[in-house]
Amino acid sequence: MNTALLQQSRTRYLPRAAALLVAIIALLLAAAPALGLRPFWVFQGFGLGLLSCLVITLVSVLALLWGLFKRNKAIVLNALLAAVIAVSPILVSMFILGPDKLSAPPIHDISTDLEEPPTFTAARALRTEQENSLDYEGARVAAIQRRAYPDIRPLLSKLAPAVALAQAVKTARHLHWRLLDVDPVAGRLEASESTRIFGFTDDIAVRIRPRGRGSRIDIRSVSRVGVGDFGANADRVRRFIRAFGH
């Protein structure tokens, strides 16, 4: 068997390998909830799958260039098909996330008060030792947040604190958050929300303090796992402020 035929024979398997890999990624995402897989491991598997897709894409491009050099139509077609199949999950992921999320900083703790962030009580009991701490990291995280999300600021409301807390509870329910605790005396609530993709759970604390005749409302959102959050916590804080409406 000459070199061209050997290369042609090998490249026949590239589209099959790419299609199998894409199918595995799709099944992983679809079956994860039913199988009870932890979101962290699903995310790790998804990341490994995308990395494998990238490798197959690069191999396919090299095979494509070889086929063009050898003027072998079969190699070119096989390599081109494999590249299209393998790159599709990467392009879909980039489209879903968007440039803003892909460029989000590597932090997972967002607060409207960077000097004295709202604290957690109920959420602490739900976190394992393997998950992120709810202790605020301080100046390093605060500096990154100021640069990346300068619009994240306290919500100033004309509502009295008790009324503002009731409105905060109503807003949390409207956003389909799972309420963990509501403390009228301390003027605070805790909740959690799971992301649609991968099912990651993030915890939220809302603190309400008097400010003149109204209230100052601070929100903090922290991911349970992961170094970065693709901007999810900042988006959650923004959604709460918009939905609060006062």
Instruction: Indicate the pLDDT class of residue 34, thresholds 50, 70 and 90.
Output: low
Condensed to tens digits (0 to 9), the pLDDT of residues 52-109 reads 888 888 888 888 887 788 788 888 888 888 888 888 877 776 666 566 666 678 899 9
Residue 32, pLDDT score: 59
Residues 221 and 113 placed together within one structural domain of the fold:
yes
Residues 74 and 192 placed together within one structural domain of the fold:
no
Residue finishing a domain among 77, 102, 127: 102
Report the share of the chain in percent with pLDDT over 90. 45
Residues 163 and 212 placed together within one structural domain of the fold:
yes
Report the share of the chain in percent with pLDDT over 70. 80
CATH at residue 123: 3.30.310.80
Condensed to tens digits (0 to 9), the pLDDT of residues 164-210 reads 999 999 999 999 999 999 999 999 999 999 876 666 789 999 999 99
Q: How far is CA 3 from the centre of its chain?
A: 46
Residues 187 and 125 placed together within one structural domain of the fold:
yes
b/e string for 38-68 if b means 16 or more Cβ within 10 A? ebbebbebbeebbebbeebbebbbebbebbe
Rank 2-16, 168-182, 194-208, 228-242 by mean pLDDT and report only the highest: 168-182
Nearest CA to 109 out of 200, 240, 234 is that of: 234
Please give the tally of structural domains in the chain: 2
Residues 150 and 198 placed together within one structural domain of the fold:
yes
For residue 190, give its domain range.
109-244
Residues 19 and 93 placed together within one structural domain of the fold:
yes
Residues 190 and 231 placed together within one structural domain of the fold:
yes
Amino acid occupying residue 121: T
Residues 163 and 92 placed together within one structural domain of the fold:
no
Residues 63 and 84 placed together within one structural domain of the fold:
yes
CA 221, CA 238: separation in Å to the nearest integer? 11
